[in-house]
Structure 1
């Protein structure tokens, strides 16, 4: 064998040894592929589950898709570098979510045990089971994956700036109004076992409740529909009104920006049956220490939540005192 072939063989052996060490002997090349479903906050609950599974199994997660009207990526909404930096503390210093572009660029490694693990677990049900455990104990663990992931979610800088601009006006009230057409349809079929609990509450009734409890005319609202009509009604009640919706942004980017504004307002008021309202209340109480969230869908009164955003049932939200452990 001539010298040239010997040199080539040595290089190939070195390459083989490098590949074996780099890709066969660790879990860094095992990627969990997941699919998130439904609206923004339901998708986030699915993400909590996926992160919990990935941390337990030693997987990385292929950056998941978000979006309501068109597909976008996690990094189109959130700061993925910040997320990975925070979560690396619980992941042996490694990134938890791998940008999709990075994964696609490395597809040529398929023959080197580049393994994609396709998730077969119902991520939303996984989250519901974890919630059930917390609800039975009236306790929320500060060490849970959900708690850590929620704390690691930070909007991209350009969207963070929008949130800060709204908050700079000393926002007293952030209100989620659930009177959209899809919510009205949901209210027709949703059964509650407590006659005092309502699923659909009209804006006129909500504002009467607010006026009795909170002395402020500065209000931010979020709603999926009918912004001009809502503004007109609130201004007639002499409120200084603000809202955010940019038609050039995907629907769930708008939702995420509104979510953070609601989380950081002085007071938040929502419907306990809305997963959006409940997760806002959860982040306010458990991450931001703003335990000042109300519901308007029980007994025609505004009630302070004492559940730290844990319960969807209205009576439980205002009667089951929850602690963080």
Structure 2
């Protein structure tokens, strides 16, 4: 480690110490960095909101985006979010838009977060996985409930879902997932990567309700052609002109509103969809296809990532 890296590490460790011992964030505008894909970023956002509410601070509007940076408000309705979350934040807006941070006072009161938001989220998930329960007042559920797409994107969701019964599936065969599966192994009857042929073989044996909506980041034409061979009508949404995570957020909400949702336990995307369905939309009909070569019903509300646990460990809200 060179001297500059060493100095940066020491500085960061000192900041962490200050935060944990002296309420360093209290009354501040908190700058946060979200990592990973859409749902990994949402897990980081859950953590940031929990910290901000506990420390009586507020969050500077964060960036999302996979291919290029876009603001939270370019995907979600920021006013709606703040309206819902203000109930738990002493009536104050929880996220401050960046165009309101130009005053000298705001700049003086801005501070960068030093807490690892992903690890913070994992610690919360660890408790939930081990107690098989989620607190009804958890920040995670509150934030999920406050996330509403911008009106132009919500209208797309409505066009796919209003007055329709359909089944939705996440087909996780994109190139980044293939690379991920190549460097991560699981034991027993679980798989991380399930081929399209294997998925559709299981779908053929599953009782599909209505048409089949699929979400995937790549190869939409190929997937559609193969689903049609099963005499099932496929649908999907992907607008190339939209940033990747805008597409992901629209697909997320469509999947949440399906009669049945089929995904895999190793995907944070599938897991958050399953959680929102069970925890907020009163629909616990979510399934996985990455265990025992079958489509099996989840019992975990999307909390467990180990496939065997997701279909065997009943999770409740209390």
> What is the TM-score when the length of structure 2 is the normalising length?
0.89
Note the alpha carbon deviations across 1:163-190, whole angstroms, 9 max, x for none.
0100136142111001111111111121
State the Cα distance separating 1:236 from its structure 2 match: 2.0
Q: Which residue of 2 aligns with 1:225?
A: 218
Matches within 5 A, 1:119-268: 119-168=113-162, 170-193=164-187, 195-216=188-209, 218-268=211-261
2:311 pairs with 1:313: no
Q: Which residue of 2 aligns with 1:14?
A: none
State the Cα distance separating 1:191 from its structure 2 match: 1.6
Task: Please identify runs of 4+ aligned residues in structure 1 that moved more than 3 A.
Answer: none
Larger Rg: 1
**Which of 43, 49, 52 in structure 1 is aligned with 2:50?**
52
State the Cα distance separating 1:211 from its structure 2 match: 2.5
Q: Give the Cα–Cα distance (whole angstroms) in 2 for the partners of residues 118 and 201 of structure 1.
A: 40
Q: Does the C-alpha gap of structure 1 residues 215 and 149 become closer, same or farther in structure 2, counting only changes over 3 Å?
A: closer
Q: Give the Cα–Cα distance (whole angstroms) in 2 for the partners of residues 206 and 250 of structure 1.
A: 27
Q: Is the 8 A contact 1:271 1:296 kept in 2?
A: yes
Partner SS for 1:182: helix
Q: Is the 8 A contact 1:29 1:114 kept in 2?
A: no
Partner SS for 2:205: helix
Q: How many residues align?
A: 294
Q: Is the 8 A contact 2:167 2:208 kept in 1?
A: no
Q: Which residue of 2 aligns with 1:67?
A: 65
State the Cα distance separating 1:226 from its structure 2 match: 0.5
State the Cα distance separating 1:296 from its structure 2 match: 0.2
State the Cα distance separating 1:213 from its structure 2 match: 2.6
Q: Give the Cα–Cα distance (whole angstroms) in 2 for the partners of residues 117 and 215 of structure 1.
A: 50
Q: Is the 8 A contact 1:171 1:220 kept in 2?
A: no
Note the alpha carbon deviations across 1:228-273, whole angstroms, 9 max, x for none.
1111111122211110011111110000000000111111000110
Q: Give the Cα–Cα distance (whole angstroms) in 1 for the partners of residues 26 and 49 of structure 2.
A: 15
Unaligned runs of 5+ in 1: 1-26
Q: Is the 8 A contact 1:244 1:258 kept in 2?
A: yes
Q: Does the C-alpha gap of structure 1 residues 88 and 28 become closer, same or farther in structure 2, counting only changes over 3 Å?
A: farther
State the Cα distance separating 1:29 from its structure 2 match: 6.1
Unaligned runs of 5+ in 2: 1-24
Q: Give the Cα–Cα distance (whole angstroms) in 2 for the partners of residues 217 and 90 of structure 1.
A: 39
Q: Is the 8 A contact 2:204 2:230 kept in 1?
A: no
Q: Give the Cα–Cα distance (whole angstroms) in 1 for the partners of residues 312 and 260 of structure 2.
A: 19
In angstroms, what is the RMSD of aligned CA positions?
A: 1.5
Q: Give the Cα–Cα distance (whole angstroms) in 1 for the partners of residues 176 and 301 of structure 2.
A: 27
Note the alpha carbon deviations across 1:55-104, whole angstroms, 9 max, x for none.
0000010000000111100000000001000001100100000011111x
